[in-house]
């Protein structure tokens, strides 16, 4: 049986934290669902006997998850919605309050899967038989699009940049091979050489801004600029749950940096004197380099994300 993208089967809230820390959760949508799982499992499993204890645990989980993945808007949104539901219902009895939180967490998870499935249809419609597509990094959302196109019987080729330093794109190759689609695997530095072959370029996103810009794995902004130079369409595929609402209030997206140990090894340099090693893990692609946003509402202008946000939150909070 051909493999589809699945989430980790979490056993506890602490298990969620550990999987995030170990980089086993991959893709912005799975991060948002993972955060919801953390709150749900803590509420169901842990002996939180008072509202004060319950709220303190929610705050602790929020602090840990945001510290681990500050760029992930989906984590922030799950944390924010759980906090809002807690505050809106804190006058209820403890068990009733817990049921409200568990319900909204389940809604977040279900809505995410539904949104990714819907946008997969939209994205698959952009792929024609014989299409050549360039992608960057790993995205469960992109995999959903490619799998949907493969299920429709389309044969296409994906030019897959490896996405250093962790080379997450290798996981994308696994899924594409599983579905018998053609793959050209290249280094990030080869993108300009192979871009003329592509009909369009597509990536996922980890955060969407109110101005239409998008944060994603380092190298995405470079690809978008090259796409404009090569006169190639550049699409972002993302559920709108990745909208970082703080950007509307003027806050910038925090672009994560990771340890230098991922890009240099012992002995690479004779000395580190006057040497700064930076492992910038995310960058920000400006809206003017994004052709369109493929989301659960269709193919839209990336600057229209705020227009749909309240509708999405209302849907998630429904009992």
| Residues 43-75 pLDDT 10s | 999 999 999 999 999 999 999 999 999 988 999
Closest CA to 203 of 174, 227, 177: 227
The mean per-residue pLDDT over the stretch 19-35 comes to 92
pLDDT of residue 4: 63
Query: Which residue shows structure tokens 């002996």?
Result: 47
Asked if residue 23 has pLDDT above 60, the reply is yes
Q: In what order do the strands lie in the sheet with 207-208?
A: 207-208, 214-217, 282-285
Asked if residue 266 has pLDDT above 80, the reply is yes
Least confident of 102-106, 230-234, 253-257: 253-257
Phi and psi angles of residue 252, each rounded to the nearest 5 degrees, phi first: -80, 155
pLDDT of residue 318: 85
* Residue 46 DSSP code: S
Q: What percent of the chain has pLDDT over 70?
A: 98
pLDDT of residue 184: 98
Domains of the chain: 13-116 (1.20.120.420), 118-308 (3.40.50.10470)
The mean per-residue pLDDT over the stretch 134-157 comes to 96
The mean per-residue pLDDT over the stretch 135-161 comes to 96
Three-class SS state of 112: helix
- pLDDT, one tens digit per residue, over 71-119 is 889 999 999 999 999 999 999 999 999 999 999 999 999 999 999 999 9
Q: In what order do the strands lie in the sheet with 132-136?
A: 182-186, 157-161, 132-136, 200-203, 234-237, 292-295, 298-300
Phi and psi angles of residue 121, each rounded to the nearest 5 degrees, phi first: -65, -45
Asked if residue 269 has pLDDT above 80, the reply is yes
Give 261's contacts (C-beta < 8 A, 6+ positions apart): none
Phi and psi angles of residue 95, each rounded to the nearest 5 degrees, phi first: -65, -40
pLDDT of residue 309: 93
Phi-psi sector, 205: left (phi>0), alpha (psi -120 to 50), beta:
beta
pLDDT of residue 26: 86
The mean per-residue pLDDT over the stretch 241-256 comes to 94
Measured between alpha carbons, how far is 33 from 81 in angstroms, rounded to an integer?
A: 12
Asked if residue 195 has pLDDT above 60, the reply is yes
pLDDT of residue 172: 95
Query: Which residue shows structure tokens 């705020």?
Result: 306
Q: Looking at the DSSP assignment, which residues form a beta bridge with residue 282?
A: 217
Secondary element (H or E) of residue 73: helix 73-88
Name the band, by pLDDT with cuts 50, 70 and 90, for residue 226.
very high
Give 56's contacts (C-beta < 8 A, 6+ positions apart): none
Asked if residue 231 has pLDDT above 70, the reply is yes
Termini Cα distance of the chain: 36
The mean per-residue pLDDT over the stretch 144-167 comes to 97
Phi-psi sector, 167: left (phi>0), alpha (psi -120 to 50), beta:
left
pLDDT of residue 28: 84
The mean per-residue pLDDT over the stretch 165-190 comes to 96
pLDDT of residue 3: 63
Q: What percent of the chain has pLDDT over 90?
A: 93
Measured between alpha carbons, how far is 47 from 245 in angstroms, rounded to an integer?
A: 33
> Considering the chain, what is the average pLDDT of its residues?
95
Asked if residue 1 has pLDDT above 70, the reply is no
Q: Is the full-model pTM beyond 0.85?
A: yes
């Amino acid at each position: 049986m051909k493999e589809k993208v699945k989430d980790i089967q979490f056993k506890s809230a602490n298990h969620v934290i550990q999987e995030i820390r170990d980089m086993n959760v991959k893709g912005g949508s799975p991060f948002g669902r993972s955060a919801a799982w953390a709150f749900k499992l803590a509420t169901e499993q842990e002996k939180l006997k008072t509202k004060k204890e319950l709220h303190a645990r929610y705050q602790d989980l929020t602090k840990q998850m945001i510290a681990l993945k500050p760029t992930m808007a989906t984590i922030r949104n799950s944390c924010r919605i759980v906090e809002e539901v807690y505050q809106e219902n804190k006058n209820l009895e403890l068990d009733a309050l817990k049921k409200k939180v568990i319900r909204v967490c389940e809604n977040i998870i279900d809505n995410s899967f539904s949104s990714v499935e819907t946008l997969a249809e939209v994205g698959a419609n952009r792929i024609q038989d014989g299409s050549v597509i360039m992608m960057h990094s790993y995205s469960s959302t992109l995999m959903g699009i490619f799998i949907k196109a493969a299920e429709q019987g389309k044969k296409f080729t994906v030019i897959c940049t490896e996405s250093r330093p962790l080379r997450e794109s290798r996981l994308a190759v696994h899924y594409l091979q599983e579905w018998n689609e053609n793959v050209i695997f290249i280094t990030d530095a080869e993108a300009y050489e192979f871009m003329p072959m592509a009909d369009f370029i597509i990536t996922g996103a980890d955060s969407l801004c109110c101005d239409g810009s998008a944060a994603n794995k380092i190298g995405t902004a470079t690809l978008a600029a090259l796409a404009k130079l090569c006169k190639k369409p550049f699409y972002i595929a993302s559920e709108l749950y990745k909208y970082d609402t703080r950007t509307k209030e003027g806050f910038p997206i925090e672009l994560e940096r990771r340890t230098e140990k991922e890009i240099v090894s012992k002995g690479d340099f004779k000395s580190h004197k006057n040497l700064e090693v930076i492992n910038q893990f995310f960058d920000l692609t400006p809206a003017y380099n994004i052709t369109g946003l493929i989301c659960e509402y269709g193919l839209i202008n990336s600057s229209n994300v705020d227009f749909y946000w309240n509708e999405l939150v209302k849907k998630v909070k429904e009992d």
